[in-house]
Amino acid sequence: MFGLGSKNIGIDLGTANTLVYIEGKGIVLREPSVVAKNTQTGEIIAVGSEAKEMIGRTPGSIRAIRPMKDGVIADYDTTAAMLKYFMEKTVGNSKPAVMICVPSGVTEVEKRAVIDAARVAGAREAYVIEEPFAAAIGAGLPVMDPTGSMVVDIGGGTTDVATISLGGIVSSRSTRIAGDKFSSAIANYIHQNFNLLIGERTAEAIKIQVASASVEKAKEIESMSIRGRDLVTGLPKSIDIEAVDVAKAIQESVQSIIVAIKETLEETSPEIAADVIDHGIVLTGGGALLKNLPAIISDATKVPVFIAQDPLDCVAIGTGESLKNIEVMRKRR
C-alpha cells in the first residue's frame, strides 16, 4: 500500500490490462483486467494477475472473466469491484479524484457507466478522458500547440486513431479491432487449418512471440512450438506453427486498422495533414509492438510511422498528466 492521502490518480482501464498512475509517483500498478468469481455465491476470489493465472484452469464453480469488452464496461458490478480493489491497493482507504480513459467512440451512457463505477469504487470525483488524447499526452506530442499530431492507440479491445491540434481531437476513428482480435484470429486460424484447439493464453503467447504485420517479413521469423487439444483424437498435441501462418491469420485485422487510419487522414484538413506528414504517425498501446507494423502502415499511408517511447504506458501517463487540469474542470462545472 502507498500512504498517499487523497492523491489524485489516473487509471488506464483497459480491456486487457489496467494501469494506475499516481500524481507525483508515476505508474504504481500494472495488472490484467481479470476477475475470478464464484459463480454460485458471486464472491470475488481473485483480481488481476492472480485471476489471470486461473483463465482456462478453473473448476465449474469459479469463472475467470474480463469485465471490460471492446474498451467499455461489459459487467458493471465486476468492473466496480475490480476498480475498488486496484484503488485500495494503491491509495488505501483515501477518496481520490480519478481520471479514467475511454475509447473515442463511446456513447454518453458508456462514459457515465465508467464515472459511476469509479464513484462506487471509492472515488471522491471521477472524470473521463478520450484514450487517443491521453495517449498523445503520454507520448509527449505537442497537443496544446497549433500544429497537427496523429496518434494510433492499439489496445486490447479497441484501436483509437485521432488527429489532434490546439488541445482537442480534430478527427478520430475507434474500431473494435485490436490485440484481442489478433489473438482470436490466430486461435481460429489454427483451429481451422491444423485441427488444434488452443486457449486464450497460448494465442496471446503466439501473438507476442511470432506474429508479424507483414507476411513477407514473417519468413525471417523462426517457428514456435505450441500445445493444444487435437480436435480429431481429443488428445493433447504439440505442433510447430510458422510465423507466416500467424501473419496470414491477422492480415484482415491489420488491414482494418489501416483503413481506420486512412479514413481519419481523409477527414483531416490539408494543414493538419501536412503537419502529420512532417511529424509522422505515432503508435501507442500493446498492439504497437506487433512486428513490422510501422513499416506496413507507412507503406499504406506514405507517412512516416514511429512507435512511442514506452507505448504500453502512454495512455496511463497521459491520463495521470491530465489530472493537473482537474481543478480547471472542477471550476468549469
Side-chain-side CA neighbours of residue 216 (13 Å): 3
Q: Would you tell me how many other CB atoms lie within 10 Å of the CB of residue 65?
A: 18
Specify binding-site residues for ATP: 15-17, 156-158, 204-207, 286-289
Look up residue 239 and give its DSSP letter: E
How would CATH label the architecture of 179-249? Alpha-Beta Complex (3.90)
9-134+315-332 carries CATH number 3.10.180.10: no
- In sequence order, what are the residues at sequence separation of 6 or more whose Cβ sits closer than 8 angstroms to the Cβ of residue 38? 44, 45, 61, 62
Specify binding-site residues: 15-17, 156-158, 204-207, 286-289
Grid coordinates representing 266 are 481523409
Domains 9-134+315-332 and 143-177+250-311 share a fold: yes
Domain boundaries defined on the chain: 9-134+315-332, 143-177+250-311, 179-249
Pair 22, 2: CB distance under 8 Å: yes
Q: Can you tell me which residue has the cell 481451422?
A: 192
How would CATH label the architecture of 143-177+250-311? 2-Layer Sandwich (3.30)
pLDDT tens, position by position, for the chain (333 residues)? Answer: 333 345 789 999 999 999 999 988 999 999 999 999 998 888 999 999 999 998 878 888 899 899 999 888 999 999 999 999 999 999 988 889 999 999 988 899 999 999 999 999 999 999 999 999 999 999 999 999 999 999 999 999 999 999 999 999 999 999 999 999 999 999 999 999 999 999 999 999 999 999 999 999 999 999 999 999 999 999 999 999 999 999 999 999 999 999 999 999 999 999 999 999 999 999 999 999 999 999 999 999 999 999 999 999 999 999 988 887 665 555 554
